Amino acid sequence: MSASIDAAHVAKAFEETFGAAPQGVWAAPGRVNLIGEHTDYNEGFVLPFAIDRAAVVAIRLRDDNIAQLRSSYGTEGTVSVDLDTLSHDTMTGWTAYPLGVVWVMRQMGITIGGFDLYLHSTVPSGAGLSSSAAIECAVATAFNELESAGLSPNELVLVGQRAENEVVGAPTGILDQSASLLSTDGHAVFLDCRTQESTLVPLDLAAAGLLILVVDTKVSHAHATGGYAARRASCELGAEVLGVAALRDVVAADLPEAAGLLDDETYRRVRHIVTENQRVLDTIVVLDDAGPAAIGALLTASHVSMRDDFEISCPELDLAVDTALAHGALGARMTGGGFGGSAIALIPASVEATVRASVVAAFADASFTAPDIFAVSPAQGARRVR
């Protein structure tokens, strides 16, 4: 169990809040997307891995129809909701994530009555590390067990995605929930988002003397608003004009023809998806042939594509990437939906202190908010921890 998952602490906080011990404690990790950004909702390929930071929920079922929810970071205290009144109006703030999962499972015919829930999370919110999916997957895993629902991991992925899409209002694909539910220690998850087939890919960074450094720029993003939805709409327009079911069906050889059919902005959005899908496939081959030290150029090319073609980066992300590369990183890119959040850098462990200090200094020189910088390792997916 990761040191960041203190199940006993969460169980104690639950008991102090609700006056009885929970029936169990479940955890689900956040994720870093190694490569494959915005390809998921285009039915393409992604390569995320779960990180050793997680959302942890303690739950006890009640004999009425009332849900009482509290988090370690919420300012509103305990939130009480009658489950028969669940609607978009009653699922607000942080409670939209756990209640959204409950709403979806009840819509599927799974009987979930009242419950008490306490949430603690070490996944930074707004950092592009899927803090929301971590909550959804922890709650879905818990109720799948508590109610003996018998849903498979892939079915739980779709529960979380539906909660994100229909309740939270974020038009995301299945990347985040898949990483949180399907990952294992020391591996990334190669996911085909059309078929939902997944393969575990060895990613033993420590054996190669490497680590992934996350730079949380503290520029918060929100998938439910603005640019993310606009990018998805551009992709859907591109697929419609090109006459394909999804941009997954477009390959590099099709791009010259696409350039003549699409306006410049839509073409660049399409070009990112097409080239990003190929970079994911290339990364799988390179990892198998030469190991993780050889994938740096692909990570950096991904960032350039997101910066220039998809236009989802920001000055803080670009500075983090450029500074890391200038001080020994083998490759670096923004990760997550964009418009803020985090960058990742693949670095030799020997230059960690140098890269950390250089990024902090560069942010200070630019008068940016000081970033939060931490190393992550491929970790275990969602499971019961107590």
User: Which of the residues are catalytic?
Assistant: 176
CB atoms within 10 A of CB 35: 27
Query: Regarding beta strands 66-71 and 115-121, do their DSSP bridges make them parallel or antiparallel, or are they unpaired?
Result: parallel
- Beta strands per DSSP E along 22-76: 24-35, 45-61, 66-71
Residue type present at position 313: S
Query: Regarding beta strands 331-335 and 115-121, do their DSSP bridges make them parallel or antiparallel, or are they unpaired?
Result: unpaired
Residue 17 makes CB contacts below 8 A (sequence gap 6+) with 70, 78, 116, 118
What is the distance between the alpha carbons of residues 215 and 323, in angstroms, rounded to a whole number? 11
Element spanning 81, H or E = strand 79-82
Structure tokens at 163: 């909660």
Query: Regarding beta strands 331-335 and 45-61, do their DSSP bridges make them parallel or antiparallel, or are they unpaired?
Result: unpaired
3-state SS of 332-377 is EEEECCCCCCEEEEEEEHHHHHHHHHHHHHHHHHCCCCCCEEEEEC
- Cα dist from 32 to 20, 246, 257, 310, 374, whole Å: 36, 24, 34, 19, 12
DSSP H helix total and E strand total for the chain: 11, 12
Burial class (CB in 10 A: 0-12, 13-18, 19+), 109: exposed
Structure tokens at 352: 């960690």
Among residues 226, 246, 227, 249, the alpha carbon closest in space to that of 237 is found at 246
